[in-house]
A = this chain, B = another copy of it.
Amino acid sequence: MPKPTFFGLPDDKRQLIERVALEEFADQGYAGSNTNRIVERCGIAKGSFYQYFDDKKDLLFHLLDKMVAEKMASLQPVLDNYKSHSFSHNIEALFETGIRYAAADPLLWRFGRRFTGGGMMDLLMEFAAKYRPVSTDLFGELLLHAEANGELRDDIDVPSVAALLTAFVNQASITVVERMTNEQTRTVFIRQMLLFLEHGVLKHSGGNDL
């Protein structure tokens, strides 16, 4: 945790430090990052940095915490309401939430990408334990709800398909955000994704929103 001094900083200065650090970690990764470069680009002294943070890791973990908190907050509306909607509506909502989150703050998105599903095994292990259960079980939860609701084909194995769905939706988001700048290709892509999902997972007589 950053020291009290850091949280006592004027908002603009604190935010500047966070943005600069976010960019540094997003671009260079943890091992490649450089505190000298960070303080220089913030226009603060090296010593000040260590009045705010115990060490480099402390800063990284603070940013990871913030990122997770924001992601959870942006997901909250979907998490709160999924029980009163159909499966495909929920998937679409989840997906669009992810896209909007990325569009709202591309830097935070890049940072998140760097630190999920890639390197960092050593450091991340320390961090991941806190949050792992949340994201892994989300799709399983949606599927169980859909199953109870009679929306699923009878031959669906929930754990397998939950793993597939997680992969599928995550990667689809990445594809849209990073490769499809054109609004129209995005729309087409999203429709294609939903068609793919519905015809693959749902009974063909399956219901719409409840």
Contacts and interface: CB of A to CB of B under 8 A. Distances in A.
Interface residues of A, number: 42
Contacts of A157: 188-189, 192
Given A29-B31, A167-B171, A175-B167, A196 B161 contact: yes
A156 B156 CA distance: 23
A198 B199 CA distance: 9
A164 B118 contact: no
Interface in A129-169: 153, 155-157, 159-161, 163-164, 167-168
A31 B29 CA distance: 8
* Number of copies of this protein chain within its complex: 2
B168 A175 contact: no
A19 B141 CA distance: 41
8 contacts: A31-B31, A117-B117, A118-B119, A157-B188, A157-B189, A160-B192, A196-B200, A199-B200
